[in-house]
Structure 1
Amino acid sequence: MAGLPDKLVAQVAFKAGGDVFHHLMAKNPIHFTKVCPSKVQACELQQGQFGTTGSVIQWKYVLDGKEAIAKQVVEVDEEKKQVTYKMIGGDLLELYKNMVITYHVENKGGIDFITWTIDYELINADNPHPIAVLNWFIEFTKEIEAHIFG
């Protein structure tokens, strides 16, 4: 239903090391234009600095074969190895009243996992749930792992 908060969650085993993933995501996201050029075309720092809470990043990316833009305020929690991206502009806000994308790294039984959570609210009940966005992050995480193992 429109107007009700909703949530999607996916967990991906990450053999290349959660610390490496977190460092890239938090401190060097511009690197993804080289690692995943089919997914990320640009990552532009618009305010603050990479890896700091309150900074603003604008991404150019491809979702379902279409170029799109996302502008986000970033919140970094080093202790939890977590970054939260609150959507403040871009194409997804045409479908969702608000959207917050979070990942965190956790270790279970000696294996690192990247957990992606998308909290969102549909503007219109007919709009699709952002399953394509969640799948994008799953594929993105696997591409990063493959790149590190290269």
Structure 2
Amino acid sequence: MALSGKLIGYVEVNKNGDVFHDLFRHKPHEVAAIAPDKIHDCELHEGERGAVGSVISWHYTHEGKKKISKQIIESVNEENQMIVFKIIGGDLVDELYKSFKAILHIEPKGDGKVAAWTFEFEKPDTSVPYPTSLMDYVCNLVKDLDAHNNAI
């Protein structure tokens, strides 16, 4: 019996938070230059960068292991600064989860913004852990990107 789950993480970012939407949608390859200890590469396999239906692969290190996540951009909402990535290959869906989506949404909060990550996933059984370590990882990545954004 499969078990559906949802996990949400929030990171406050500076006033220029819309930079994150643009970075993850149109310039994901630049994330590797900003945070090379976490992200090693982002390859475009099909389509155009940032276009719905395009396929990319992230090469990253998580929990001390090099991993790959192949994703399709399932939908984009420019007005709400939201991107939905459906994971279609790599460690997450090949080894752990039956299905996995990662949603990045930039939300206004006071004078600043919040980067909200939502993971929607289906576990094959109760032995598979919730992706809390991965959520910590992407939230820390956003903090690194925000610190870089504030430094330039």
2:51: which partner in 1?
A: 52
Contact 2:9 2:116 in 1 (8 A): yes
| CA–CA distance in structure 2, aligned partners of residues 111 and 83 of structure 1 | 19
The alpha carbon displacement at 1:112 in A equals 0.5
Report the CA distance between 1:149 and its aligned residue: 1.5
Quote the residue 1:87 is aligned against: 87
Residues 112-131 of structure 1 mapped to structure 2, 5 A cutoff = 112-131=113-132
Q: Assess if the C-alpha contact under 8 Å between 2:15 and 2:111 holds in 1.
A: no
Q: Deviations over 1:11-66 (max 9, x none)?
A: 11001522111111111000011001011111000011111111000111111110
Distance 1:56 1:111 in 2: 31
> What's the TM-score, normalizing by structure 1?
0.95
Kept after mapping to 2: 8 A contact 1:98/1:121: yes
Task: Give the letter aligned to residue 86 of structure 2.
Answer: K
The Cα shift of 1:76 comes to 1.8
Where in structure 2 are the equivalents of 1:17-56 lying within 5 Å?
17-56=16-55
Q: Which amino acid aligns with 1:20?
A: V
User: Between Structure 1 and Structure 2, how many residues are aligned?
Assistant: 149
Q: Which moved more, 1:43-52 or 1:10-19?
A: 10-19
Q: 1:6, 1:120 within 8 Å by CA — same for their partners in 2?
A: yes
Hey, what's the Cα distance between the residues in 2 that align with 1:127 and 1:6?
Answer: 11
RMSD: 1.0
8 Å contact kept, 1:16–1:148: no
Read off the aligned partner of 1:59 and give its amino acid letter. Answer: W
Give the AA of the match of 1:8. Answer: L
Mapped to 2, the partners of 1:146 and 1:18 lie a distance apart of: 11
Structure 2 unaligned residues grouped into runs of 5+ = none
Cα separation, 2, equivalents of 1:123 and 1:42: 29
The aligned counterpart of 1:132 is 133
How many angstroms does 1:79 deviate by?
Answer: 1.5
> Equivalent residue of 1:92, what SS?
helix
CA distance in 1, matches of 2:76, 2:5: 22
Contact 1:16/1:145 (8 A) holds in 2: no
Partners of 2:3 and 2:125 within 8 A in 1? no
For the residue of structure 1 that corresponds to 2:98, the secondary structure is: strand
Aligned to 2:5: 6
Please report how far the alpha carbon of residue 124 of structure 1 lies from its aligned counterpart in structure 2 after TM superposition.
2.6
Q: 1:22, 1:105 within 8 Å by CA — same for their partners in 2?
A: yes
